[in-house]
Structure 1
Amino acid sequence: MTTDNNILGYLQDLQRAVDNLDNTWRPEDPAYRADVYRQTMTSLSYAYFAYFHADAEHPDWAPLWNPVYTLQPNPDDIYLQSPIRGDLSYRVSGNRGTCKILSFTTQKVLSGTVDQMPQPSGHNEVDCSDLGLALGEDFEVIFSAARPAGYTGKWAPIDPEAGGMMVRFRSYDWLNEVDPTLSIECLDPVPPKPRLSPDEILERIREMAKFPARKTKLYYAMQNGVKERVGFNVFEPIRYPGALVKQTYWPACFQFEPDEALIIETELPARRPYWNIQLNDPYFNALEYVYRLSSTNGHFAKVSSDGKFRAVISLEDPGVPNWLDPAGYTEGGIYGRWYDCDSEPLPTLTRVKLAQLREHLPADTPVVTAEERAEELRLRVRACQRRRRW
């Protein structure tokens, strides 16, 4: 074993994340550079969990995307993940809770841990309705490549080459729904969890340093793809093969001037078990969503008298329902989701002067006072902080 006394020697690959500035919309902008530095640190912080917290023989949940470890988390979701292995069997047990959706996704590799994601990815995804998990119910599910002989309980398949499991706790009413409590166990005989050797520790540190660049390479391309295909202020419906097969996304790249506003307008599906919309920064991170009203969903959203959903993006509070606060950004990303809906309308974006906003909204659009907005934000902060995010 050869040990470099300077730990920076093991972190050289962090520079690759900064080099990915070339793939952002404004590579020469010092604000963009600072944001990418911050993004690199959030990913490096998360990478410790990815490489040191658990292994496939000794699984345990680690926090995934959240207000700290960003990279476009859905603000309605609490994400967890654990290493697994396709030749082993696992039991996930606990209580279903009362959140809107509980889903389990298994795949060959965890995002960010390889330079090139494998195709096919080995995704298998099931949710609480697929598994028949009732609200508040204690349960256990076996995950394995094949159903165990003679086993008649709840079971879900994993790819024989599976390398990770991701869990989503998706909530509508953040303050009143109860998130699940879960454990994960390997059911096969395995040795005790070992002490890591010096070589193993150093190799994992090297992999940690590669993680931020791998993530930005993946996510910048996703956001840039939307901009290249449809431009700014246009929604594009997308389904991602293998992952969340019940969900259609409707991303857009937004852009406006400080004295302008963007109006989002859409029909709503007749059956809509879950839908939401959120704002991202230009680097595919969710905008601040604890202390900013940068997202909404089918529980919180106010529907217009004509049955349509309308939201407004503007730097200043426009005093109307469904303000999406861009947290100081005049360009970035939008992600909406229809989950298991009976139709998938494509919203529109209209760019207007903020001073003329009400001319472009229904005449009966309510006024939201400063006091009402402050209360809306107070309840949001309280609700988000009460969910266990890490």
Structure 2
Amino acid sequence: MEQDKVMSGAAWATFCDELKQAGDQILRPEAADDPLSRAEGWRYLTRLTRVALDMFMECNDRDFPSFYRPSHETAKIGADNPDNLYERAEINGEYDYKISGTRGSVAYLGLIAIAGGYEEADSNMRSVSSLDTHGNLTANADGTIEIILSRTPQAGNWLPITEDTIAVLVRQTFLDRKTERPAELTITRLDRENAKPVPLTPQQVQQNLERTAAFVKGTATLFADWAQGFKTHPNTLPPADQAYCQKLGGDPNIFYYHSYFKLAEDEILLIELDEIPDCENWNFQLNNYWMESLEYRYVDIHLNKHTAHYQADGSVRILVAARDPGQPNWLDTTGHGEGTMAFRWIGANRQVQPRCSVIKQGDLK
């Protein structure tokens, strides 16, 4: 019984053993094995553990939900977007919820109701429904916002959910973090006005520990598999499988490209966009092998619609290199000779295929 395992400590011992197995993903034979990538791999597992403990141990009371950050500056998952502020709340699809707060001035605000997660055998985090400012999400005249989550249709901002919905994921996408104000949101279950949380039970602890370990193992395996696949087409940006991206929690307004870079010290990956279509935003970013965005707080490792330098004809050239080539739109590989990368069109009326080529530093014109 769960209570016996918790009382004896067996539940904790099993959790530690399961967590240890996640290390197998860092030691996969095809994984980058330079000292930097290996060190980042072990740190990555500690970050996944922190996220999972928030998700399953601290913020999983679906009667009293709260928003937490499932990916941020020091805990990164699956090519996390440096332009995004991610928030997530755990819910129960059998009940109704209200999200309220202020809209802020962030360029894009999107919500997705999701079912399933990376802790499950198929890693399926499917999108149940979405609501965003690109479509029909609106704020009141005073800047406040209110959204109802329910199975039955509602007037105003309504995010449909199903009985198997387990969470709502919020993406706030900035063009310029220095000037834009994020939305400030809270979530409540509508029929719990006078209720109080119940005490923690041994059964809950047992289940939470199991799910925490499963999430760490499942997430590490999923994105190590992705990176292995990306290595087959290095220094190119082919379109991703969009349906598969949606299955894993991708925003339906985003068209994704995922790939791999591998460069010598004197090489530059030149990415050219002949034109920029009408869109909410676009961005390109560099990640390490484990699909964590590189250190964007202090180093230029990504560009977007607002921060990029444009040519006179409206085209854009992005330069990925270990050393500064002395031209605009240089992205620093921060000591990585190889890693993953991602490009996104957000709310674009069409997609323009990025063109990639590898040149020597001395050949750049």
Corresponding residue to 2:107 among 75, 96, 100: 100
Partners of 2:104 and 2:143 within 8 A in 1 = yes
Residue identity in the other structure for 1:354: Q
Deviations 1:43-100 (A, max 9, x none): 0011111012232221110111111111221000000101112111110111110001
Partner of 1:210: 214
With over 3 angstroms needed to count, the CA separation of the structure-2 counterparts of 1:118 and 1:174, relative to structure 1, is closer
Whole-angstrom CA distance in 2 between matches of 1:253 and 1:32: 14
2:121 to 111, 115, 121: 115
Using the alignment, how far apart are the partners of 1:299 and 1:136 within structure 2?
Answer: 27
Pairing 1:124–2:129 present: yes
2:183 maps to a residue whose letter is P
More deviation, 66-75/131-140: 131-140
Counterpart in the other structure of 2:143: 137
Between 197-206 and 315-324, report the one with greater CA deviation: 197-206
What secondary structure does 1:332 align onto?
strand
Matches of 2:264 and 2:134, distance apart in 1: 44
| Corresponding letter in the other structure for 2:58 | H
Match of 2:266 among 245, 259, 270: 259
**Is the aligned partner of 1:232 residue 2:224?**
no
3-state SS, counterpart of residue 290 of structure 2 = coil
Where 1:44 maps in the other structure, the secondary structure is helix
Q: CA deviation at 1:211?
A: 2.1
1:11 to 8, 16, 24: 16
- Alpha-carbon offset, residue 30 of structure 1: 5.0
**2:316 paired residue among 291, 309, 313:** 309
Give the C-alpha shift of residue 10 in structure 1: 2.6
The answer to whether the 8 A contact 1:273-1:340 is kept is yes
Counterpart code for 2:211? E
Distance of 1:342 and 1:51 partners within structure 2: 38
Of 25, 30, 38, the residue aligned with 1:33 is 38
Q: What is the aligned partner in structure 1 of residue 179 from structure 2?
A: 176
Superposed displacement of residue 236, structure 1: 1.1
Say if 1:62 and 1:80, in contact at 8 Å, map to a contact too.
yes
Residues 227 and 206 (structure 1), Cα distance of their counterparts in 2 relative to 1, 3 Å cut: same
Q: 1:84–1:165: 8 Å Cα contact kept in structure 2?
A: yes
Q: 1:229-267 CA deviation, whole Å, 9 max, x = no partner?
A: xx1111111223364222111222111101111111112
Provide the residue aligned with 1:384 in structure 2. none
Report the residue type matching 1:143 in the other structure.
L
Asked if the contact 1:236/1:252 (under 8 Å) is kept, the reply is yes
Question: Distance in 2 between the 1:118 and 1:170 partners?
Answer: 24
Q: Tell me the CA shift for residue 128 of structure 1.
A: 2.0
Amino acid paired to 2:231: K
1:210 counterpart letter in structure 2:
A
Using the TM superposition, name which of 17-26 and 243-252 deviates more: 17-26
Q: 1 CA distance for matches of 2:300 and 2:34?
A: 26
CA contact (8 A) 1:11 1:205 kept: no
- Give the gaps of 5 or more residues in structure 2: none
| Normalised TM-score (structure 1) | 0.84
Aligned identity (percent) is 25
Provide Cα deviations, 1:267-286, integer angstroms capped at 9, x if missing partner: 23331221111101111111
